[in-house]
Amino acid sequence: MALVPNEAIAAEVEMGADPSTVRATVVQASTIFYDTPATLDKAERLLAEAASYGSQLVVFPEAFVGGYPRGSNFGIIIGNRTEKGKEEFKKYHASAVDVPGPEVDRLAAMAGKYKGHYLGKHRKLMPTGLERIIWGFGDGSTIPVFETPIGKIGAAICWENRMPLLRTAMYAKGIEIYCAPTADARPVWQASMTHIALEGGCFVLSSNQFCRRKDYPPPPEYVFNGTEDDLAPDSVVCAGGSVIISPSGTVLAGPNYEGEALITADLDLGEIVNEKFTFDVVGHYSRPEVLSLNVRDHPTRPVTFTSAKTEDSK
């Protein structure tokens, strides 16, 4: 059973003077692994710094709170689970957060300090590879696009950004600022981000962690399976690549592969109309008489109950 969700929690901060321009920041920084309170402290420091630059929207990396378990396999062998892997999973599970829950309350309070508020959540529809052994699956009820004073904002996490039908659903909801927290630092990721910006006629904000081996607990507490012997404390295990891209495919800021950073750009929302005049994937380019998409946006539950009272009232 997969217990630990991978969720993007959406919040916005204060709107600037020009309603057509939004200052946005993507955070490129490492989790403090196995220490959720310290990670939240770090998040607050980074949010305060971004707000001091006038940022109205701040995007954090995938699994920033709770941690991305890079290099771990949790002792999974087909037909068996190792005792060490089980203990490792207990520690990782203890770092997870509930939505709603006290950690989310604190995140909401952080946003509130800068005149924002908690908006909702997106839960990753399809974890990738071994992520599926520890994270549950989202459903259609958590792929929102939020209408805010700074634009229509939504998020897709890591490789679910490569799911064309999910992207189409978000485009149909009118997304203008497309947030893409990720764990993929490969150069090819930039191609996906550029394609989404062009395809959706939207701004794309991709945020990734920058991590060194020393940002994770030392062995034997935490082991990078298959690569541990090649790693020194300063070895880079996730190189970032965070980036901000305009609807025309222009890179506005980043990608950064150098270290922890706050990557900031001003988004001119007027560019969206210009790009959709040329190509609108769910507008004049949609051809609904040929192609259509049905999205089930209700929660899916494994167990439902019909009470006797309800039955009697029929």
Per-residue pLDDT in tens (0 to 9) along the chain, 314 residues: 234 446 565 555 554 445 689 999 999 999 999 999 999 999 999 999 999 999 999 999 999 999 999 999 898 888 998 999 999 999 999 888 888 899 999 999 998 988 788 899 999 999 999 999 889 899 999 999 999 999 999 999 999 999 999 999 999 999 999 999 999 999 999 999 999 999 999 999 999 999 999 999 999 999 999 999 999 999 999 999 999 999 999 999 999 999 999 999 999 999 999 999 999 999 999 999 999 999 999 998 889 898 876 555 55
pLDDT at position 1, please?
Answer: 29
DSSP string, 6-75: -EEEEE-----S-TTEEEEEEEE----TT-HHHHHHHHHHHHHHHHHTT-SEEEPPTTTTT---TT--TT
The number of CA neighbours under 13 Å toward the Cβ of 162 is 12
Rounded Cα gap, residues 45 and 82, in angstroms: 38
Sign of CA dihedral 60, 17, 178, 300: positive
Q: Which residues are catalytic?
A: 62, 124, 158
Helices (H) and strands (E) counted in the chain, each on its own, are: 7, 15
pLDDT at position 117, please?
Answer: 82
Rounded Cα gap, residues 184 and 71, in angstroms: 13
Structure tokens at 290: 């040929």
pLDDT at position 207, please?
Answer: 98
Structure tokens at 169: 């659903």
Structure tokens at 150: 């700074």
pLDDT at position 286, please?
Answer: 94
pTM: 0.90
pLDDT at position 99, please?
Answer: 86
pLDDT at position 39, please?
Answer: 95
pLDDT at position 196, please?
Answer: 98
The number of CA neighbours under 13 Å toward the Cβ of 311 is 4
Structure tokens at 142: 């958590």
Residue 146 pairs in a beta bridge with 153
